[in-house]
Structure 1
Amino acid sequence: MSASFDFEGRVVLVTGACGALGSAVCEAFDAAGATVCATDLIDVESEDSLLDPGIVDFYEGDFTDEDDVERVVGRVVDAHDRLDALANVAGTWKGGQPIDETSLEQFDMLFDVNLKTAFLASKHALPHLRETEGSIVSVSARSSLSGGEGDGPYRASKAGIRLLTETLAEENRGAVRASCVMPSVIDTPANREMMDGNDDWVDPADIADVFLFLCSDAASPTSGAAVPVYGEA
């Protein structure tokens, strides 16, 4: 059974758009008829980018920097006169050390990239999303549900996404819906290289379809949810 969504006339902003999941989310919204505004720290024309520049309006920006966030969100709204959805995809993984061997630099980087970007993007998108009764979807992680060896700061930053999501949903009840997805391990070349032997792979395109659902009218009763996207694991 297949499902289709119509986002014609709607404007979506996707952070972390040049990565495997971000590019898949951009492609899904584009295929559904949305105007896709994409942002990332790297340029869309870079060899590190997986995003097709032909399907998006691209805005290079550092979403750990509030001035940059305000600038990008402002440019998107100025160009399109509205914002209907925010996909907080920017994120990273780093680990391998116990807490007492983890550097402050690594801790700060994980919270900046995984949590601060979502906070700042949501903060500056909210006034515009309230006007359209829009949606926010962010990326948490299955591993955020428990402690574990070697990647505690990562898990904590992704647990913060769940709590941020619940707070956004509560504070904007009836105006803006907010949910998050919780992948196991996303199937990317980098993850395959780092995690040989893992069995929990989830296709970015399948997760992108969940983004579409959560931002669609079909999910109108859903807000504050943390949605498992574990595949068959």
Structure 2
Amino acid sequence: MMPARPTALVTGAGRRLGQAIAVALGARGMHVVVHYHASDAGARATAQAIDDAGGSASLVQADLRDPAAIDPLLTRTLESTGTLDVLVNSAAEMVRTPVGEVTVAQWDALFGLNLRAPFFLAQAAAPHLRRVHGCIVNIADIAADETWPGFIPYSTTKAGLAHMTRALARALAPDVRVNAVAPGAVQLPDDFDDAMASRLAETTPLGRLGTPSDVVGAVLYLLDAGYVTGQVLAVDGGRLIRA
């Protein structure tokens, strides 16, 4: 078991935003449990970056679409450190699903990873977080408040995650704070070309796309904000306030 230090479990930490969040927590001297599914090389790179930043890391592989993976993931997390202070639900999948082409398998996979897994991870982690007055940060999306016809299942999962954040905050108060960060145009899907990215930047009030560090800053704020719970913080350059 690792020496006692604040411990965070970050899901989806082998790539993209999850990776950036995990490294930032490591830079704070935390022990970070780096969860990944298929991004083995990325997860190892995350762990190395955490070590380089002054933290420590352990790797845990799990397919969070499988409900049976939740309890073993928490067990392995606690075996590594003996405690859990922070849960960051970052693992998610965004798939273009036009109406008329959505399959039941796509629907179930998106809901399993993006919505069911964060809830059951929070439920399993809650007793451990209560002991240390820990916190949960969910990575939502402004898709919860916009209408994206090509991504209806994905957007619906994120709307559910936003609601779940507020409901869990009430259910777990006063011992555990629960908040979410809702990124806007940050780390676009792989099928977005340069022209699409430029249009997004031009239609964002702050005139640019977001960066992982923008989201990381919001996550760190929520970890430190001891009187904030039940909030979904949009980090979107102002997209939600467009006329």
Is the TM value for this pair above 0.5?
Answer: yes
Point out where structure 2 has 5 or more consecutive residues left out of the alignment.
51-56
Q: Is the 8 A contact 2:94 2:189 kept in 1?
A: no
How far has the Cα of 1:187 moved from its partner?
Answer: 2.2
The number of equivalent residue pairs is 221
SS at match of 2:25: helix
The structural deviation recorded for 1:147 is 2.9
Where in structure 2 are the equivalents of 1:169-188 lying within 5 Å? 169-187=169-187
> How large is the RMSD of aligned CA atoms in angstroms?
2.1
Per the alignment, residue 220 of structure 1 pairs with 226
Return the alpha-carbon distance in structure 2 between the equivalents of residues 148 and 231 of structure 1: 18
**Matching residue of 2:53:** none
Using the TM superposition, give the Cα deviation of residue 77 of structure 1 relative to its aligned residue in structure 2, in angstroms.
1.2
The question of 1:209 aligning with 2:217 is answered yes
Cα separation, partners in 2 of 1:113 and 1:181, compared to 1, 3 Å: same
The alpha-carbon distance between structure 1 residues 179 and 173, as it changes in their structure 2 partners (threshold 3 A), is same
Normalised to the residue count of structure 1, the TM-score between the two structures is 0.87
Q: Give distance in 2, aligned partners of 1:161 and 1:191.
A: 24
1:71 CA displacement: 1.0
What is the distance in 2 between the residues matched to 1:51 and 1:156? 32
Q: 1:114 to 1:82 in 2, by over 3 A?
A: same
Match of residue 237 from structure 2: 231
Q: SS at 1:209's partner residue?
A: helix
Of residues 64-73 and 125-134 in structure 1, the stretch that sits farther from structure 2 once superposed is 64-73
- String of CA shifts for 1:135-188, please: whole Å, max 9, x gaps: 000011112113332211111100010111111101011110000111112225
The C-alpha deviation readout for 1:28-64, integer Å capped at 9, x for no partner, is 1011111111101124326xx5843322211111122
Cross-structure match for 1:45: 41
Q: In the alignment, is the contact (CA less than 8 A) between 1:63 and 1:121 conserved in 2?
A: no
Whole-angstrom distance in 2 between the partners of 1:209 and 1:63: 26
SS of the equivalent of 1:185 reads coil
Gaps of 5+ in 1: 1-7
* Partner residue in 2 for 1:162: 162
Corresponding residue for 1:5?
A: none
**CA deviation string 1:82-105 (max 9, x = no partner):** 10000000011112512x432222
Matches within 5 A, 1:96-115: 96-98=97-99, 100-115=100-115
Q: Tell me the secondary structure at the aligned position of residue 224 of structure 1.
A: coil
Deviation at 1:191, TM superposition (A): 6.1
Partner-residue secondary structure (3-state), 2:14 = coil
Contact 2:66 2:112 in 1 (8 A): no
The answer (yes or no) to whether the contact 1:44–1:58 under 8 Å persists in 2 is no
Q: Structure 1: which amino acid aligns with 2:6?
A: R
SS at match of 1:52: helix
Query: What is the distance in 2 between the residues matched to 1:143 and 1:76?
Result: 31
Which among 11, 16, 32 is matched to residue 28 of structure 2?
32
Partner of 1:73: 74
SS at match of 1:167: helix
Measured after TM superposition, the shift of residue 232 of structure 1 is 5.4
Q: Who is 1:134 aligned against?
A: 134
What fraction of aligned residue pairs are identical, expressed as a percent? 27
